[in-house]
Structure 1
Amino acid sequence: MNIKKWLLKTCVCMWQFLRIVGGVVLLGAFLYFIYLMVVSPRGSEGLEEKAAQPICGRLSGKTLVVPRSYVVFWAEYEGESTWDKNTFHKNTGCDANFISLPMVVTWPSFQSVDHSKYFRDGLGFDGLEVVVTPMFHNEFYLRARRDAFLGNSTGQQVEGASYIDGLGLYLVKRRDNTFPEILNEYYWSEEEGEVQAVFECLGNHKDVGVYSCRGEFLLGQLDALIKIGFTPEKLSDWKSIAVLTKEFVLSKVAN
């Protein structure tokens, strides 16, 4: 009985201790919030001012300026690492070279997107996810990407490909490497032996269609690779998506 009383008393003491600690933490957080909002208004003004500034950087020697409302995550620059706090956002601004510029836009109007709606919609997001990365122009890059998707060796003929007239794309279906029960769809555009665009559409379980598509194509004017994410029904508009996305990116070139 004495042991039970001792355990009960110990539990009560620990609970009281945790309540005190929790209260102190909450009080500290509240006081810090008051400090930021009242004592240091310049700090909050600085954050608001930074949030209103556009994203700026260079691709192939040309400066791109994009309203921050288009960039849901963050741009990455040459000479920095997202995973290293000492270099993250060390090299930014209009003189820094982009490594990755991720944006989200509405389709087909290419307007900025409400960020909360984008995250809330998830895979059902009805716009386009656009990522622009630099690359040295390589006419064989997209062919290599297609072969990598299909598990083909370089120069190997694609087995089982069919041409979809309505899309103007070749199609091959392949089992997912990680989940063999899933059937993915791979599309590509090819003219005179040159692969011009590649698309990967991920399948649902039990082979019930696909739920997400991603495409890749080159933007020669900036020696850049553009990656596009969209819902499957937009695949029929892939030509318009490619043309309008290129125009959208080029419209952000400042010089």
Structure 2
Amino acid sequence: MYVKFWPEYEGESSWGPGFIKNKKGCGANLRSLTMMMSWPDMKPVSFSVGASSEFTGVIITIMPLLPVFKGMSKVLETSLDFVTPEQMCGAKYKNDLGLYHVRGYGPVWRDSYSDFYWSERDGAVEHLIYCLWLPIQNKNYRCMARFLIPELDAFAEVEFPSENINLWREILTDSVSFFNDGLIGSE
């Protein structure tokens, strides 16, 4: 089964109080759907496999674009909120990845490092990837890519192992193809 937990519908989060009052059934608007699968074959995996620290697959969350969405540049700006000016001075373009990179604080914890990567086209941010740092092990753990899927008018997040950062294009392409083939191509 692909679905990691359950779909989230508009209204209160199912992790908080009040969610039982949310609209249900066909009239409810989907807010997010999280799926877990192997990569590169994109086959469903069990939750126990996906919860393992050795999980090498991807976790994909898709959300409809809301009218309040301010664009990928704003997503990057918000993600870099805790990166200090000194850290930002270390930002460099990595030719081997085709991404800009900076190591800095955030986005999850103010006092913990992450590696931030982003791509731009014609001055506009297209992708943001951040990889969470494990200080005790002195390495990155998992990476989270954020980007738009224009064909679906959706915002996507794809989580993958940090050792696959050099395969980010393939992972995102496979993720978009999974949705396009399954949703757009299913008519």
Shorter-chain TM-score range: 0.7 to 0.9
How many corresponding residue pairs? Answer: 178
Q: Are residues 250 and 151 of structure 1, via their aligned partners in 2, closer, same or farther at CA, if it must alter by over 3 Å? A: same
Matches within 5 A, 1:84-99: 84=18, 86-87=20-21, 90-93=23-26, 96-99=28-31
Deviation at 1:209, TM superposition (A): 2.3
Structure 1 Cα separation of the partners of residues 75 and 89 of structure 2:
16
Cα distance in 2 between the residues matched to 1:233 and 1:214:
12
Q: Which has the larger radius of gyration?
A: 1
Spell out, residue by residue over 1:98-153, the C-alpha distance to the aligned partner (whole angstroms, 9 max, x if none).
1011100100000010222223x1x431100000001148995211111112228x
Q: What are the within-5 Å matches in structure 2 for residues 45-124 of structure 1? A: 69-79=1-11, 81-82=13-14, 83=16, 84=18, 86-87=20-21, 90-93=23-26, 96-119=28-51, 121=52, 123-124=53-54
Percentage of pairs with the same residue: 29
- Is the contact made by 1:75 and 1:98 (CA closer than 8 Å) also made in structure 2? yes
Query: Could you report, residue by residue, the CA deviation over 1:228-252 in whole angstroms, capped at 9, with x for unpaired residues?
Result: 1111011111111111111101222
- From 76, 92, 96, the counterpart of 1:162: 92
Native 8 Å contact 1:211 1:232 kept in 2: yes
Q: Counterparts of 1:220 and 1:176 in 2: how far apart (Å)?
A: 28
The answer (yes or no) to whether the contact 2:12–2:19 under 8 Å persists in 1 is no
Shift of 1:223: 0.9
Tell me, which stretches of 5 or more residues in structure 2 are unaligned?
83-87
Q: In structure 2, what residue type is equivalent to 1:127? A: G
Judge conservation of contact 1:217–1:225 (CA < 8 Å) in 2: yes
Whichever structure has more helix as a proportion of its residues is 1
Which of 140, 145, 151 is residue 210 of structure 1 equivalent to?
Answer: 140
1:97 Cα offset (Å): 2.2
Letter in 2 for 1:92: G
2:122 aligns to what? 192
| 3-state SS, counterpart of residue 218 of structure 1 | strand
Instruction: Report the RMSD for the aligned CA atoms in angstroms.
Output: 2.6
Residue of structure 2 equivalent to 1:230: 160
TM-score (norm 1): 0.62
Q: Identify the residue that residue 57 of structure 2 maps to in structure 1.
A: 127
CA 1:100–1:164: 2 relative to 1, 3 Å:
same
Confirm or deny: 8 A CA contact 1:137 1:223 kept in the other structure.
no
Q: 1:85 to 1:199 in 2, by over 3 A?
A: closer
CA 1:208 to 1:251, structure 2 compared with 1: closer, same or farther past 3 Å? same
Q: What displacement does 1:172 show?
A: 0.7
Normalised to the residue count of structure 2, the TM-score between the two structures is: 0.83
